[in-house]
């Protein structure tokens, strides 16, 4: 065993950040390509499962990766995670290429399964980055390097939608015969191979010292069997499967029941997946509670803003995705600056409190947006929220790592990521219900009867097209059909049909009398009939424009009121997380990685 050199640290850091970039990029790049994927593969009814499968897999495996990192070579675990992620990427890219497959079925089913495989690898890529950085640098120096992980998240959020759109629209020219959307998955391969090269050739083994023990397989099975139904139950579209639906209750209650068995097993197992004794460490328990609420706030901001941009501001779905860029840039700046400051000042709680306060201001401003808010103001509010979110990504993790025995740093680090993700899943599920119920009431109050949108998309499914556009198209179609019926009655001189159509139009008596008089005068005269129909069509178009404007305004007001109500709830979520952060103990950052005999050492083989 030899100590880590600066060269070891640099190349290892590059390798793990590249791997982390892949997982972070995948969360944004696929959403842009999904409409084209559905067009090619079909399966619109399974649209959201492409996201859900990835989310479930990338969440439930996080604690297990953390435990494995405490037992075996970090390099071996990282290589496994990258390899699984790349395999899932390649398989996702060939989904549907060979038609229906035994067991897997059609192309959309194949993509869902292969996305789950991607998620199995992504769970390791995200958690292991923080764990390996903990090996490379002592806590007093670690903040500025962990701050880079926030930068990776931000950069991937900025370029993901752009790269996804470019590859979907123009990727077919790279190799003729391969659809452009498939390159959204294939693009992971060269970056992943580069990351593997750095890890294989430059990264030390980083084998934890001390007794490894054996992985408690029963704990792992119980954890997976409990988390899968819980996460699925939270991610189900609550407009189709409400909280009281039998399937939702069964998934949540069954999952919680199995997790209780997991806790009981963990209390008695010699080598549990998560040492529950960590919760007696106040830094660990309080930081994870605060991170849970901050995770809920973060994902809620990201999930509901595109709905606001499309249906209130009136931008395209693509531009709505780009509206998250100011948030991402704020996260990048806040994460990197807070990482540098904590390494200089040695105080993480103060920075977390400042960041939380800025986040609260940003979300409060988002909650005050009206139906006429300009794009530039939304961008400003998002940048403020991102600036406040930036410190939460590296600093809760740093606080926990600094406070626990380094022999359990893998478990502790993965727990921070896990509770943040569970907070996000629960937060979006609860606030999604708030959105749906508020929208239903707002549509009833702000739009003419029967003319509100039929429903809203589930947040996990990405931003839908504009609801106002869809309703305007339906109104236009209805007016065209009404005019065609009137024209048939006038040209056919069908008095009964004309009277029925005029009655259905709910016109004032004077208007009906005027139209009837014009019709009677035009009988037998094709030119007079044509003139009458031209006049009627112009009047109907004016009525259509008036009605569309009324409905569009009502929809904008409805969405603005519902989404800002969601953000008002998010303000309270941030407030709770901020108040909890006050109780995170401030422990001096250690200058070395651990007492002798506990540091994961570099093993050059």
Specify the range with the lowest mean pLDDT, choosing from 277-281, 317-321, 498-502.
317-321
**Percent of the chain residues topping a pLDDT of 70:** 87
Q: Which two tokens stand for residue 554?
A: 């009502």
Whether residue 18 is contained in a domain is answered as yes
Query: Is the distance from CB of 460 to CB of 47 less than 8 angstroms?
Result: no
pLDDT at residue 365, rounded to an integer: 96
Whether residue 524 is contained in a domain is answered as yes
Query: Is the distance from CB of 73 to CB of 487 less than 8 angstroms?
Result: no
pLDDT at residue 284, rounded to an integer: 95
Q: How far is CA 394 from the centre of its chain?
A: 19
Confidence of residue 240 (pLDDT cuts 50, 70, 90): confident
592-594-598 Cα angle (round to 5): 150
Residue 601 is given by DSSP the state: B
Highest-confidence range of 36-50, 108-122, 223-237, by mean pLDDT? Answer: 108-122
242 has a pLDDT exceeding 90: no
- How far apart are the C-alpha atoms of 80 and 89, rounded to whole Å? 14
Same domain? 237 vs 256:
yes
464 has a pLDDT exceeding 60: no
pLDDT, tens digit, for every residue of 107-147? 888 998 999 999 999 998 888 888 888 888 888 888 888 88
459 has a pLDDT exceeding 60: no
Considering only residues 555 and 361, tell me which one the structure prediction assigns the higher pLDDT. Answer: 361
Same domain? 87 vs 151:
yes
Same domain? 256 vs 139:
no
Same domain? 63 vs 141:
yes
pLDDT at residue 584, rounded to an integer: 94
Considering only residues 432 and 497, tell me which one the structure prediction assigns the higher pLDDT. Answer: 432
Q: Which two tokens stand for residue 104?
A: 């897997």
| Domain stops at, among 177, 193, 215 | 215
474 has a pLDDT exceeding 80: no
Mean pLDDT over residues 81-110, rounded?
88
Residue recorded with tokens 């907070």: 423
| Domain stops at, among 521, 538, 554 | 554
Confidence of residue 506 (pLDDT cuts 50, 70, 90): low
Specify the range with the lowest mean pLDDT, choosing from 239-243, 466-470, 494-498.
466-470
Mean pLDDT over residues 364-388, rounded?
92
- How far apart are the C-alpha atoms of 65 and 489, rounded to whole Å? 73
Question: Which residue segment(s) compose the domain that 226 sits in?
Answer: 216-272
Confidence of residue 468 (pLDDT cuts 50, 70, 90): low
pLDDT at residue 451, rounded to an integer: 55
Mean pLDDT over residues 178-193, rounded?
86
**Mean of the per-residue pLDDT values for the chain?**
82
**How much is the CA Rg of the chain, to the nearest whole Å?**
28
Query: Is the distance from CB of 12 to CB of 129 less than 8 angstroms?
Result: no
Mean pLDDT over residues 274-301, rounded?
92
Q: How far is CA 214 from the centre of its chain?
A: 35
Same domain? 253 vs 146:
no
Confidence of residue 39 (pLDDT cuts 50, 70, 90): confident
pLDDT at residue 552, rounded to an integer: 72
Query: Is the distance from CB of 165 to CB of 181 less than 8 angstroms?
Result: no
Whether residue 328 is contained in a domain is answered as no
> If you write DSSP's letter for every residue of 399-452 in order, what string do you get?
HHHHHS-GGGHHHHHHHHHHHHHHHHHHHHHHHHHHHHHHHHHHHHHHS-TT-S
Closest C-alpha among 118, 301, 124 to residue 199: 124
Whether residue 74 is contained in a domain is answered as yes
User: Residue 207, SS3?
Assistant: strand
Same domain? 226 vs 140:
no
Same domain? 129 vs 256:
no
- How far apart are the C-alpha atoms of 467 and 307, rounded to whole Å? 10
Highest-confidence range of 345-354, 468-477, 507-516, by mean pLDDT? Answer: 345-354
Same domain? 205 vs 221:
no
Same domain? 500 vs 540:
yes
Same domain? 195 vs 231:
no
Same domain? 134 vs 145:
yes
Residue 310 is given by DSSP the state: I
Confidence of residue 430 (pLDDT cuts 50, 70, 90): confident
Confidence of residue 572 (pLDDT cuts 50, 70, 90): very high
pLDDT, tens digit, for every residue of 157-177? 777 777 777 787 777 777 777
Whether residue 570 is contained in a domain is answered as no
Confidence of residue 453 (pLDDT cuts 50, 70, 90): low
Whether residue 388 is contained in a domain is answered as no
| Domain stops at, among 538, 554, 570 | 554
Whether residue 376 is contained in a domain is answered as no
pLDDT at residue 458, rounded to an integer: 46
Residue 450 is given by DSSP the state: T
Same domain? 24 vs 166:
yes
As for how many domains the chain has, the answer is 3
Whether residue 277 is contained in a domain is answered as no
Query: Is the distance from CB of 96 to CB of 46 less than 8 angstroms?
Result: no
We report the CATH number of the domain holding residue 106 as 1.20.1250.20
Mean pLDDT over residues 227-237, rounded?
85
């Amino acid at each position: 065993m030899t100590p880590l050199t600066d060269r070891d640290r640099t190349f290892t850091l590059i390798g793990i950040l590249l791997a982390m970039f892949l997982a972070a990029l995948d969360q944004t790049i696929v959403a842009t390509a999904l409409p084209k994927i559905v067009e090619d593969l079909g399966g619109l009814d399974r649209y959201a499962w492409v996201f859900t499968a990835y989310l479930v897999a990338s969440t439930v495996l996080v604690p297990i990766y953390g435990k494995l990192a405490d037992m075996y070579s970090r390099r071996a675990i990282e290589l496994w995670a990258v390899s699984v992620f790349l395999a899932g990427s390649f398989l996702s890219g060939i989904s549907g290429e060979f038609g229906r497959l035994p067991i897997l079925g059609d192309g959309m089913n194949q993509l869902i399964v292969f996305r789950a495989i991607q998620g199995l690898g992504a769970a390791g890529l995200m958690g292991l980055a923080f764990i390996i950085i903990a090996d490379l640098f002592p806590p007093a120096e670690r903040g500025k390097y962990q701050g880079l992980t926030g930068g990776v998240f931000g950069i991937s959020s900025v370029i993901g939608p752009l790269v996804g759109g470019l590859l979907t629209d123009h990727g077919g020219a790279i190799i003729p015969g391969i659809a452009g959307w498939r390159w959204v998955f294939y693009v992971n391969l060269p970056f992943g191979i580069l990351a593997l090269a750095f890890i294989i050739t430059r990264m030390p083994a980083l084998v934890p010292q001390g007794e490894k023990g054996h992985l408690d397989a029963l704990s792992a099975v119980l954890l997976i069997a409990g988390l899968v139904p819980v996460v699925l139950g939270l991610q189900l579209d609550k407009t189709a499967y409400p909280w009281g639906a039998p399937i939702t209750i069964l998934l949540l209650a069954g999952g919680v029941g199995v997790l209780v068995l997991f806790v009981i097993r963990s209390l008695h197992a010699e080598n549990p997946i998560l040492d529950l004794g960590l919760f007696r460490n106040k830094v660990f328990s309080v930081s994870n509670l605060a991170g849970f609420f901050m995770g809920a706030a973060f994902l809620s901001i990201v999930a509901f803003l595109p709905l606001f941009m499309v249906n209130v501001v009136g931008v395209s779905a693509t531009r709505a995705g780009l509206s998250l860029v100011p948030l991402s840039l704020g996260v990048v700046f806040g994460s990197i600056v807070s990482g540098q400051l904590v390494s200089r000042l040695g105080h993480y709680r103060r920075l977390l409190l400042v960041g939380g306060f800025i986040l609260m201001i940003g979300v409060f401003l988002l909650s005050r947006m009206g139906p006429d808010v300009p794009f530039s103001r939304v961008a400003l509010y998002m940048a403020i929220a991102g600036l406040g979110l930036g410190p939460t990504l590296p600093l809760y993790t740093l606080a926990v790592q600094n406070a626990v025995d380094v022999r359990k740093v893998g478990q502790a680090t993965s727990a921070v990521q896990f509770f943040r993700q569970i907070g996000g899943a629960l937060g979006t599920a609860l606030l999604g219900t708030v959105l749906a119920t508020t929208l239903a009431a707002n549509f009833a109050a702000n739009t003419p009867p029967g003319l509100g949108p039929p429903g809203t998309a589930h947040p996990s499914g990405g931003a839908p097209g504009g609801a106002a556009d869809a309703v305007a198209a339906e109104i236009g179609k209805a007016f065209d059909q009404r005019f065609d019926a009137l024209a048939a009655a006038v040209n056919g001189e069908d008095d009964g049909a004309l009277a029925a159509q005029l009655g259905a139009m709910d016109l004032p008596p004077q208007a009906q009398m005027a139209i009837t008089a014009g019709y009677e005068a035009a009988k037998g005269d094709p030119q007079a009939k044509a003139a009458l129909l031209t006049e009627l069509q112009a009047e109907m178009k004016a009525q259509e424009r008036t009605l569309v404007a009324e409905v569009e305004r009502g929809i904008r007001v409805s969405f603005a009121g519902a989404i800002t109500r969601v953000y008002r709830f998010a303000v309270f979520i941030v407030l709770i997380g901020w108040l909890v952060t006050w109780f995170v103990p401030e422990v001096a950052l250690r200058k070395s990685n651990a007492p002798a005999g506990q540091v994961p050492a570099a093993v050059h083989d």
